[in-house]
Amino acid sequence: MAKPRFVYVTYIRTTPEKLWAALTDPQTIRKYWFGMTADCDWKVGSAWRLKFEDGRVADSGEILESDPPRRLVIRWRNEFKPELKAEGYSRCTMEIEMADYYPDFGGKAVKLTIHHEIEDEGGAKFIEAVSGGWPKVLSNLKSLLESGNVAFETKV
Amino acid sequence: MDLVFRALADGSRRELLDRLRAENGQTLGELCQRLDMTRQAVSKHLAILEEANLVATIKRGREKLHYLNPVPIHEIGERWIGKFERSRLQALSDMKKALETGES
C-alpha cells in the first residue's frame, strides 16, 4: 500500500456513535459538506457516491471496510473534473477512537483521523484538490457536533 | 488553543512544520538528516507539536510517519477571519508575495 499523502486529525467533544452517524447519515452530511451528500448503505462492497445538490455525481467508488463506530475505508475517484478523474482512485481511511485527553479541553473526546492516499504514483492535482477541502469539512463537522451549527454554509 | 500557540512560538518547531509541508509523512530519522538539531531535540519538539495536534502520526510497519496537520491552524483562521474577509486577504497576500519575489 502507498504511503498516505496526508493525515488529518481533529478532536471532537462527542461520542463515537454520534460521530459515526454524522459521517454516514445523508441529511447530516449535507449540513457540513457544503450541500453535497453521500448515497450509500455503508456495507463492505457497496457503491458509494458523493452528489451535488442538483444530483450530479462528484465522486464515486466503493466501501472497502466498514466497522461501526470505529473504521471506514472508502475507495473513490473524482467524476466531474477530467484532469482529476484521470489520476485514478484514492483510498480514504477514517478512524474513530476515544482519546483520554483533548488538547483544548482537558477532558475526554473522540479523535477522528483521516488518511488519504492515491493508488497510483502521481495524483498531485487530486491531492491538492482534496487537501484544500478536508480542513473545511472537518471544521464544519466539529462545529456541528459540538454546537449544532456549521462554520461555513457554502464553499468559500 | 494555548497549546497550538505555544507550539508555534518556537522557530525550530516552525522549521519542522515547514519540512513536513515540503515533504509530508517523514520518519524521525528523515527529519533529523537535514536539520542542525540533535535527534533528541527533534524528538522533543515533535512531541510538543503532536500534543498541540499540529503533527499527526501514523504507524506503518515499524516506522512512525509524521504529517503536518493543518486543522488547528484552520480553526484559528476561522475564529478570527470572517468568511467575507477571506478573498480580500488572499488578494493582499498574493500581492505581497508577488512584490517580494519580483514576480507579477
Cα separation, B65 vs B62, whole angstroms: 10
Q: Is B78 on the interface with A (CB under 8 A)?
A: yes
Whole-structure pTM value? 0.84
Say if residue B22 is in the same domain as residue B65: yes
Domain of residue B34, CATH code: 1.10.10.10
- Contact call for residues A84 and A129 (beta carbons, < 8 A): yes
- Per-residue pLDDT reduced to its tens digit, B13-70: 999 999 999 999 999 999 999 788 999 999 999 999 999 999 999 988 899 999 999 9
Which residue carries 448503505 as its cell?
A41
Task: Find chain A residues with C-beta within 8 A of B79's C-beta.
Answer: none
Domain count, chain B: 2
Say if residue B6 is in the same domain as residue B41: yes
Cα separation, A145 vs A111, whole angstroms: 13
Range of the domain at A79: 6-147
Say if residue B81 is in the same domain as residue B58: no
CA distance B56 to chain A (A): 6
Q: Which residue of B has its CA nearest to A131?
A: B70
- Residue B58: closest CA among A114, A92, A123: A114
Which of B75, B83, B85, B87 should be substituted to probe chain A, the one whose Cβ sees the most A Cβ atoms within 10 Å? Answer: B75
ipTM > 0.85 for the complex: no
Say if residue B62 is in the same domain as residue B12: yes
Domain-embedded: residue A153 = no
Domain-embedded: residue A40 = yes
Range of the domain at B94: 70-104
Say if residue B103 is in the same domain as residue B92: yes
Q: Which residues pair with A110 in a beta bridge?
A: A12, A98
Interface contact B25-A4, CB threshold 8 A: yes
Q: Is B75 on the interface with A (CB under 8 A)?
A: yes
